[in-house]
Amino acid sequence: MSAVEAVFVLLSLVAVGSALLVVTTSNLVHAALWLVVTLGAVAGLYLVLAAEFVAWVQVLIYVGAVVVLLLFALMLTRAPTGHTDDLTVRRALPAAIVAGLVALLLVVTVVAGFSDVRIDLDETVVGSAEITGRTVFSMWVLPFEVLSVLLLAALVGAIALSKQEAR
Amino acid sequence: MPLWWPLLVASLLFAIGVYGVLARRNAVLVLMGVELMLNAVNLNFVAFDAQLRDVLHGGQTFTLFVIVIAAAEIGLALAIVLLVFRTHGHIDVDDLRSLGESGLDELDRPRRRA
């Protein structure tokens, strides 16, 4: 196992372990903080997989903005900061069974379908800011512009929802 | 490295996200499950981008687009969560029955939190 593969395995273990803690911890604020660890580890996985710009965008937007938004929502809904008993539904077993079946289906499919395919990371072009910017603004410029309209619509929608008087 | 390593991680993250969405009662925690699922999908995109050595980097570009759409989604969803909190006083998705059928509500009335 090369050094890159060892780093990948370690980051994968961190990502999956902290994701499990996100969905099982009984403390709301801890769930948000474990989400930071998960998203950071996924950013590290992107770096290993030669997606440099995507990794920094992940750190900026997910770790920087989305988690702060989630923490703000927890604060504004007066979430209890300590240990809370009823964060999970009373009958969590069906949810665990469904999630286990999803995991089984996906794992069996990807391992059976791609067991002999390898990623050759030595010859992969690193997705730096220059290369990503070049492709976004040449090949994908129309989806990029449509995306800006979507962001504007989401912004207007969020403001309209927040200004509504409670009935 | 074998391609199925990142795909395996993505599958596990997706299943954990599914469990979070199904099992959590707090609406903000449900949203965290959604974020986990979106990250799993992004990891798939990046892995296949590296494996196919796409000249146009379609996988990485689409990952950027998914991140932007996730940011828009979380902004709208949190506005809705705050509105629910203002109208109901709680954000427990199990107890939000105002759109349910009244007969069902009588049969299976949830215990209100204080």
Element (H, E) at A152: helix A141-163
Which residue has better confidence, A14 or A116?
A: A14
Which residue has better confidence, A147 or A165?
A: A147
Pick among 3.30.565.10, 2.70.170.10, 1.20.120.1200, 3.20.20.70: CATH of A1-85+117-127: 1.20.120.1200
Report ipTM (2 d.p.): 0.90
Is A41 an interface residue toward B (CB < 8 Å)?
A: no
Residue B109: Cβ within 10 Å count: 10
| Domains defined along chain B, listed by start | 4-107 (1.10.287.3510)
Is A103 an interface residue toward B (CB < 8 Å)?
A: yes
Of B18, B49, B61, the CB nearest to A102: B18
In 3D, which of A143, A34, A41 has the Cα closest to residue B43? A41
Any idea where the domains of chain A sit in the sequence? 1-85+117-127, 128-167
The pLDDT tens digits for A114-157 are 988 888 887 777 888 888 899 899 989 999 999 999 999 999 99
Q: Which residues pair with B26 in a beta bridge?
A: B92
Calculate the alpha carbon distances from A152 to A61, A65, A124, B72, B78 in Å: 17, 17, 35, 9, 16
Predicted local distance difference test score (pLDDT) of residue A40: 95
The pLDDT tens digits for B20-63 are 999 988 899 999 999 999 999 999 999 999 998 888 888 999 99
Of A31, A98, A123, the CB nearest to B29: A31
Predicted local distance difference test score (pLDDT) of residue B55: 81
Q: How confident is the model at residue B73 (pLDDT cuts 50, 70, 90)?
A: very high
Q: How many CA atoms lie within 13 A of A112 on its CB side?
A: 6
Q: From CA B85, how far away is CA A166, in angstroms rounded?
A: 10
Predicted local distance difference test score (pLDDT) of residue B114: 43
Q: Which residues pair with A118 in a beta bridge?
A: B2
